[in-house]
Amino acid sequence: MSTPQQPGLSRVRVNLALATLFLGTFVLGTAELGVVGMLNLIADDVGVSISAAGMLVTAYALGLAIGGPVLAVLTIRLDRRVLLSSTLLAYLAATLLVLVPDFGLLIVARALTGSLHGLFIGVAFTIAVSVVPPQRVGRALAVVIAGFAVSAALGLPLGTLIGQTVGWRGAFATFVVIGAVCLIATLAIIPRVPPTGAGGIAAQVRHALAPRVLAVLGLAFLLFTGQYAALTYITTFLEQVTGISGGVISVFLFAYGAATAVGVFAGGRFADKAASRTLIVATAALIAVLGVLYLAGALPILVAASLILFGLFGMGLVPSLQYRVVSLAGPGHSLAETLPASTINAGIAVGALAGGWAIANYSPSSVVLVGLVICIVALPVAWATSTLKSAEDSETLPTRGETTETATEAER
């Protein structure tokens, strides 16, 4: 990350490239989350129970967590622009499989699109980092991550609305159309970026799964397990503890969603300045926020303020997690770039299970207590990982100079 900036792309081309990556992650994030808001429609249409339809969410998450890193390893020697466009094309083709009436094929399609989603994330991060100078790496990562944050805040309700208006198949057809626009932009705007991973599969795995990298991934797992132990059941918490209902709950959740988008962009700047310190501060802030929710959950004003801070810090730490994992992986960053997303998804899954256990055996407020305890455990881990350094710091990340287009070519 200390590699000096080299002449490459114009500022306009860089901004357009980052906007294209943002659009791609927004489309994929909306397609992932849209299923949640349309489960009842899908279940009724294909003749399965709601719980069976929930397997569509599980299949996607497993594909992203497992298939994404596997595909990343298998494609490390491909040009990044070619790989990004090919991945997006394959994603759109697999998404069209949801239009068939067979539920089994629908499960397969969701697992496949989840895997391609995971690969897309890693390649998008590589390209984002490649088009900016070293001092803006964190902000470039934040743009990619922000696509998912905005899809949670806006894409999910919009996708649900489209599904209710034109049917769930119509909603997915809409995702494909928007994705096609993103594909055209990718081919027209994204510069060529050569493969940046060092060595073969064995070398990638060795560097990406080094103990120092696994330690930060462990921190990511704890942080998102803690967050989603509470967030998965936040609606129940708001209804039964805070005492609000109906449209007011939607306002609270929208405030949280908007805060996540703001938090990601702000978090990118803090990642550029001090990623390790940002993780420590954000973890401490989450502990304070969860503590307030647990102790003052019956006070709507404090709950609203806590949810806004929850969104700011909970998603604001993600660019720093990505930054640290890729930095510590050194030459193995091509594989490492997919690992935080996999780990975060695993944390979300386990957090939902932990919160489900708490709410089934105790009370709605207990989900916040479980999240609080897990985040308290994460704090010393955040401090311990702040001392870790990569032995290959000079090889950590691709820089702007690694794009293969000259300024003249980029400005055509």
Contact, 66 vs 196, CB < 8 A?
Answer: no
Q: Can you give the pLDDT at residue 288?
A: 97
Q: Which residues contact 33 (CB under 8 A, 6 or more apart)?
A: 151, 152, 155, 156, 159
> In angstroms, how far is the first alpha carbon of the chain from the final one?
29
Q: What's the pLDDT at 199?
A: 62
Specify the pLDDT at position 222. 97
Q: What is the pLDDT of residues 315-345, one digit of tens each?
A: 999 999 999 999 999 888 888 888 998 899 8
- What is d(CA 255, CA 258) in angstroms, rounded to the nearest whole number? 5
CATH for the 11-410 domain, from 1.20.1250.20, 3.30.1370.60, 3.40.720.10, 2.40.50.140: 1.20.1250.20
* C-alpha torsion angle, residues 49, 54, 60, 65 (rounded to 10): -140
Q: Where are the domains of the chain?
A: 11-410
pTM: 0.82
Listed as ranges, residues in the chain with pLDDT below 50 are 1-7, 393-412
Q: Which helix (H) or strand (E) covers residue 178, if one does?
A: helix 168-189
Residue-wise pLDDT tens digits, 96-126: 887 777 888 889 999 999 999 999 999 999 8
